[in-house]
Amino acid sequence: MGDPYDIHMLDPERVSFTRGAGGVLQGILEGTYYNELVVYRTFPFQYTKQFISIRNPKGEEIGIVQNVDYLEETSRKEVEQELQFRYLLPRVTRVNSVKQKNDLWQWDLQTHIGPTRITMRNLHEFMQYPGDRRIILTDLNGKRCEIQDWQTLDSHSRNQLRDVL
């Protein structure tokens, strides 16, 4: 493996990812076959498709995929699916309401996996802005959801957000 502090960028032309028995991610990385691989985002909020750490089951890093979009289609889909399993982050499709009650902010939201509610004490501590129009909402219990681009939401949702942004 070499120096654990060396960063090895994988050549997208020399890697391929597939599914093995039981749905386990496996692949060939620069000529070496791995029957089980684990993927992590090195910067989970800032870069969702870039700088993906590929590791063996012991957690030892094999290398970094600079951008999953550089992979061939089948490999890209497998890595994206694996990342989705690891980092389930409900995507907000509508903001029904944002209300302040006493010292709490209550959000009633629709996500791609169903309705949810998030409660926050302070908007500034519980809202992160990792990219242009992207917002990560976190409630008091650590539950999170994502607004990928608040300006593409419907007009009602944008109006709800304008009061708190």
Residue 4 belongs to some domain of the structure: no
32 with 57, same domain: the answer is: yes
76 with 112, same domain: the answer is: no
CA 102/CA 87 separation, integer angstroms: 32
CA 83/CA 143 separation, integer angstroms: 18
pLDDT band with cut points at 50, 70 and 90 for residue 31: very high
Residue 147 belongs to some domain of the structure: yes
Q: Which of 27, 58, 86 is the last residue of a domain?
A: 86
For residues 20 and 30, the model is more confident at 30
Residue 121 belongs to some domain of the structure: yes
127 with 63, same domain: the answer is: no
28 with 79, same domain: the answer is: yes
101 with 131, same domain: the answer is: yes
| Res. 1: pLDDT tops 60 | no
Q: What is the pLDDT of residue 165?
A: 86
135 with 116, same domain: the answer is: yes
82 with 102, same domain: the answer is: no
The number of beta carbons lying within 10 Å of the beta carbon of residue 71 is: 22
Residue-wise pLDDT for 61-99, tens only, equals 999 999 999 999 999 999 999 998 888 889 999 999 999
122 with 64, same domain: the answer is: no
- The residues near 73 (Cβ < 8 Å, ≥ 6 apart) are none
The number of beta carbons lying within 10 Å of the beta carbon of residue 6 is: 8
Is residue 164 within 8 Å of residue 123, measured between CB atoms? yes
| Residues of the domain holding 137 | 92-162
70 with 106, same domain: the answer is: no
In total, the chain counts a number of residues equal to 165
Q: Which of 67, 86, 105 is the last residue of a domain?
A: 86
53 with 100, same domain: the answer is: no
121 with 81, same domain: the answer is: no
Q: Which of 31, 59, 86 is the last residue of a domain?
A: 86
Tell me how many domains the chain contains: 2
Residue-wise pLDDT for 111-127, tens only, equals 999 999 999 998 888 99
